Structure 1
């Protein structure tokens, strides 16, 4: 039965468009997972998750689920602030290099205790070259961790992390790291059930095998449909978890997601890309529309290992022929600001540099200097993007811009999320749509991406001076001098142009605040499922 909000939607959208949206939604399986109680909360999570292994994931949809299933030494609250997690307290040495974490009495979902030794073993797994975690470089600030990650050091006992007893973890850093606690809140730092992982190998995250320590356990996982979660009664603060059952829907089409929300098939949409942009202006006046800036950038990557993208003049020509204002006014339309830099504004004390501006004349000149006057002789490249209406619209618009300004034609290549991530990491692309959401409020979370050999570099670009600047920044004694080095590095990155920043994200969430609580505004756009609570059910039984 369709509720009153769905009837309002028909009027708001118009009958023709409403019919198309409903037709699209019927393609999505909307029945709850079998053999479990009905969900109290249903939310649209975006693409089908690539994995639920916290050491292997890279995307936001996976991160939301892993944060519900697992918990590290520290966690984040609804406002994005660091709060105690598995560690009930910690101390930092006077030299800023040694953390001593004191673990609380915690249990895994199968009842066995979570010990300091198991957490250290989990970190060893995450750093190990055999695991091939794309986030393993986040451990590089720990003493000798980088050498171990790269296979130069074989003896893990020389890495600066140890467990002197069952409830204590001591971490020794290479140098003071002001955001180290923020790193400890990342999924790659979560403990995993080592015995379960060793027994079931790649199948350990399947519902019948998985053991977790977070606020929720995994009930079932239906591919391209939903992941079903249930409250974990053994979670150390289970009394603070108010929703007993959650379904996370795998949806990539904005019209489908919006219809699910409007017909009470979902309580919450967390991803702006899943809100239809063609009526965003009208939608923004609705009481369930919530928006604000957050620490994330939409950009294009260039595969510099492929000719002619190996020529920085070509990369700069492509970047300088993109009219970013057209993208945010014609397509995204949620108040996004164009991105002159990779790092978004919002870090106290850091002013991002301004990179390559829109300059068609200079772009044509650079392309001619590279041997392609008027686009003559330029090979037919392709833009890779993951499935999604807005990604396709942006790629189509940029395709038109390059034809208009440079006289070149590029193809569009659309892949599902998992396939797209594989193509990106293996450099099986020419030009690729990308985005990055800051893991912590510091420019390093963006700039460290493009270190030589970084797990999330995904461009083939390498620059010794850039690497050195980031290393120098890490050793600076003051934040002011540290930011100076980081700014110099970002200037170099923008000038070399292995990427083309396009715009800074504007967070858009759809939910009824009088029905759903626990969502706090924060620049990291971080909304832990364990913090949510239902004021009043809005979905039909």
Structure 2
């Protein structure tokens, strides 16, 4: 079946008037010791926009908040927070086989901390802060760092879970030594602790700017930070009009790295992939980030733009299946493992890859029944087999099928909508009638948190490139945001925790990783579909692009010639 027969949508190009209105509205080292701070200046770097400005569009939704710690903040907001705020450390970089540049999680480099030292017993790290200031001119102090870290481990939800992934769990672990010295005490030796300080969550917030806005109902100032800038990063907030545009301006007093070449960044909200492509082809924007798979394929066949496509490590697109016996107070057929296995055998993997992804993804079906390596993701043993699907469903308490729903994020509709339509058709062949729920992008993170949908399309990717980190978020019984199937199994938890407590090369680590992968395939609370790629199209005069694990653009590294 052709993709265009699946969806009646309006991906045609904008009219010239609409394009003009849109643009007019928007005008205006080793982990144990720190290496020397990088002092190299960025390279010189448009389209029809000025050399010191960058205008871009973004697939996958639009930032719905300026507060990364707020419940429901979506992935596009990560990129804004990444440049509004500093972290103590950042990652180094490496060249990939295709010549493109990626972050390197094995190398930690200074950001707000100009140096750090690990204690002789390996149970603490002491950071020396730069002589830096926030956007309002207030000096950055260790007290700000502590307040920010206390917030991250205490506010709950995703930020607290992320900190816990690195064994950062209590405000008692954070100490102000003096105004420019900050200490982190480790609960135990853990391979994730230091690198967890370089992910988006442990931002450093101007605590004195936020404190006047604290209330008994909002002790961490989330309502105020939702729409306001309290950072000291390379860019400061210019204008934020939700669901329309966001503008950032370079912070001239930034001290935590080379001053960016781009002075002003404007992010436009253009939901339709075809319209984003039209803006790029007209030269009205500099970057089309997170290309649809269709545009990735077609634009790659021309030499008009710079195209970079990178497999997203530690990431898979999946259909998550709610695995609890009850859901919303009612009996849940999906809580039966044979039902979930039947669904996994019913899915049309090859059609999904060809139709929804235009072949621009790595297939994850038809693998061995036992893990062949520690690589993640790797192909699961499931492949399309309707006879097996019908047999398994007949062995379940629901041999005649049932009705259910599949929810997906409209911010990812380019791939998610054709995928769920194909899945809907396939499940009907074995007696499972699924209605489709379209969730607005701004609400989808809240839906993930609620755990209230029977089946949901998920695109989780682990920030820290270890399989146990992915499983801690996606399969552990603590039921993190990205455990879309709300899966809980003490045996699985034991395997994950054993892997987290060990390191690659340790026999315990290898045994634990293979065990939790195999159990995930047996229990199938999520059905792996593909490993995606992250693709970006840039005008020829854009330089400095680098792939990041958080799947967002780092404006600090970009330049226009």
Same fold (TM over 0.5): yes
Task: Summarize the Cα distance change of 1:34–1:168 in structure 2 as closer, same or farther, 3 Å threshold.
Answer: same
Name the residue aligned to 2:363.
Answer: 338
Q: Which deviations, in whole Å up to 9, do the C-alpha atoms of 1:332-374 show, x marking residues without a partner?
A: 12431112499xxxxx96465653411322211111111333x
- Cα distance in 2 for partners of 1:432, 1:321 equals 16
Alignment partner, residue 300 of structure 1: 319
Deviation at 1:476, TM superposition (A): 2.4
Q: Superposition pairs for residues 476-495 of structure 1, below 5 Å? A: 476=502, 479-480=505-506, 481-495=508-522
**Mean Cα deviation higher: 89-98 or 487-496:** 89-98
Name whichever of 326-335 and 307-316 sits farther off.
326-335
Q: 1:352 to 1:517 in 2, by over 3 A?
A: closer
- What is residue 394 of structure 1 aligned with on the other side? 419
Counterpart residue number, 1:316: 341
Tell me whether 73-82 or 491-500 shows the greater mean CA deviation: 73-82
Map of 1:291 onto structure 2: 309
Q: Distance in 2 between matches of 1:282 and 1:239?
A: 35
Structure 1, residues 484-508: CA drift from partner, whole Å, max 9, x if none? 3123122212221111111001221
Partner SS for 1:447 = helix
Aligned to 1:213: 232
For residue 63 of structure 1, the aligned residue among 78, 84, 89 is: 78
Residue number in structure 2 paired with 1:54: 68
Contact 2:345/2:382 (8 A) holds in 1: yes
Paired position in structure 2 for 1:518: 544
Partner of 1:420: 444
Aligned CA distance change for structure 1 residues 479 and 199 (closer, same or farther; 3 Å):
farther
462-471 or 176-185: bigger deviation: 176-185
Structure-2 change in CA distance of 1:45 and 1:281 (3 Å)? closer
SS in 2 for 1:162: strand
Checking the alignment, whether the CA contact within 8 Å between 1:92 and 1:99 is kept in structure 2 is yes
Cα shift at 1:517: 0.5
Tell me if structure 2 keeps the 8 A contact 1:320–1:356: no
1:439 and 2:466 matched: no
Structure 1 runs of 4+ with >6 Å offset: none
Out of 183, 186, 191, the residue aligned to residue 170 of structure 1 is: 183
Instruction: Tell me, yes or no, if the aligned pair for 1:97 and 1:175 is still in contact at 8 Å.
Output: yes
Q: Give structure 2 stretches of 5+ with no counterpart.
A: 1-8, 29-48, 93-100, 214-220, 368-372
Q: Look up the SS of the partner of 2:204 in the other structure.
A: coil
* TM-score between both structures, scaled by the size of structure 1: 0.83
Distance verdict in 2 for CA 1:142–1:293, change over 3 Å: closer
Say whether 1:460 aligns with 2:486. Answer: yes
Q: What is residue 102 of structure 2 aligned with on the other side?
A: 79
Describe the superposition over 1:425-475 as per-residue Cα deviations: whole angstroms up to 9, x where unpaired: 112312111102231222133111122224322422111111122221232
In the alignment, is the contact (CA less than 8 A) between 1:312 and 1:496 conserved in 2?
Answer: yes
- The 1:334/1:177 distance shift into structure 2, 3 A limit, reads farther
Is the 1:182–1:439 Cα contact (8 Å) retained in structure 2? no
Please name the residue that 1:10 is paired with. Answer: none
Q: 1:122 is matched with which residue: 122, 139, 148? A: 148
Is contact 2:132-2:254 (8 Å) kept?
A: yes
Q: Does 1:329 align with 2:354?
A: yes
Distance 1:491 1:377 in 2: 27
- The answer on 1:132 being equivalent to 2:156 is yes
Report how far residue 74 of structure 1 moved. 1.0
Compared CA separation, residues 238 and 482, structure 1 to 2 (3 A): closer
2:216 aligns with none
Q: Aligned partners of 1:140 and 1:206: how far apart in 2?
A: 23
- Inter-partner Cα distance in structure 2 for 1:425 and 1:524: 19
Corresponding residue for residue 4 of structure 1:
none
Instruction: Report the alpha carbon displacement of residue 519 of structure 1 after superposing the two structures with TM.
Output: 0.8
Give, in whole Å, the separation in 2 of the partners of 1:333 and 1:461: 31
Superposition TM-score, scaled by structure 2 size: 0.81
Q: Which residue of 2 aligns with 1:26?
A: 18
Q: Would you say the 8 A contact 2:62–2:269 is kept in 1?
A: yes
Q: d(CA) in 1 for partners of 2:346 and 2:434?
A: 14
Shift of 1:111: 0.8
